[in-house]
Amino acid sequence: MYRRSLYMVLLFCLIGLTTFADSFQTDMEKAGQFYENQKFEEAKNIYSSLLSDEFGNFELYYNLASSHAQLNELGSAIYYYEKATQLNANHTDLKHNLALLYGKQKNDIDKFPEFLLIGWLKNISSILSSNIWWILSILSLWAGAALLYIFYFQNNNKKRFWIPLLVAGLLFGLLAISSAWFKNNPEEAILMLNESKLHLSPSSNSKELNILYEGLKVELLDEVDDWAEVRLSDGTDGWILKNAIKVL
């Protein structure tokens, strides 16, 4: 009786998931038709209705960003392209479109020089997810340890193979840690309002440091009441109203 009830629950869950997937795909195709017919507002509304905090979909983010871009909504377009980047950082069209939009962004802020090793780790680790890097690391370390055992305890001439496997395992582990760290630290946000003032402290009466414009990407450092402390790409820290930004 218990087993039958369990099977029924699993069956209903499977039916529900299948129905959701079919409905999602139908709505995606409908929005795509609106986009092809240059009805970008209608396409944007459908894509927006499919968004979920628990479910990330590269195609959905990419198409929604493209709809915003066609409507000249710079902040939202950059935001959803950046969300798509979190799922596939090496998509050629995505990188091209994002570069074009950042070219339209009004702030001319010099980027703080990045340490060469940090930049190298960021670029390499973004090729695969941290989970894949961990799998490669474990497999390489396991294979290296196995060959090491064979060499030392069975007098088998495989010395030249276990060393690079163990080194590769350690490197893959480093890339796994780097991938997870760059994805989660620090939090980044996109400026969504046309313009906002950057203040020295969390008060509208404090010194004004800069004017920030729609589409600018900043690092989120802290939050106090209605204010968020952010860092610009040139290393400048300041405070901005929280409703001016949207956290990635």
Q: What is the 3-state secondary structure (H, E, C) of 117-128?
A: HHHHHHHHHCCC
Domains of the chain (ranges; CATH) run 2-104 (1.25.40.10), 116-173 (no CATH), 187-247 (2.30.30.40)
Alpha helical stretches, state H, 37-70: 40-49, 58-70
Cα separation, 59 vs 51, whole angstroms? 11
Contact 80, 65 (CB under 8 A): yes
For the record, the structure tokens of 92 come out as 């050629």
Query: To which residue do tokens 């795509």 refer?
Result: 32
Cα separation, 217 vs 142, whole angstroms? 41
Cα separation, 93 vs 59, whole angstroms? 12
Cα separation, 243 vs 248, whole angstroms? 14
Write out the chain's pLDDT in tens, 248 residues.
444 443 344 444 444 445 545 688 889 999 999 999 999 999 999 999 998 755 678 899 999 999 999 999 999 999 999 999 888 878 899 999 999 999 998 887 755 455 555 656 666 666 676 777 778 778 777 877 777 777 666 665 555 666 776 777 777 777 777 776 666 666 889 999 999 999 999 999 999 999 999 999 999 989 999 999 999 988 899 999 999 999 98
Whole-model pTM? Answer: 0.66
For the record, the structure tokens of 64 come out as 């929604």
For the record, the structure tokens of 74 come out as 């710079």
- Give pLDDT, residue 3: 46
- Give pLDDT, residue 67: 96
- What single DSSP character describes residue 214? T
- Give pLDDT, residue 6: 38
Reference 150, options 142, 141, 163, 159; nearest CA is 159
Farthest-apart Cα atoms in the chain, separation: 77
Cα distances (Å, whole numbers) of residue 223 to 182, 227, 238, 243, 245: 21, 6, 11, 12, 12
Cα separation, 104 vs 120, whole angstroms? 27
Reference 99, options 78, 83, 79, 126; nearest CA is 78
CA-atom Rg of the chain in angstroms = 24
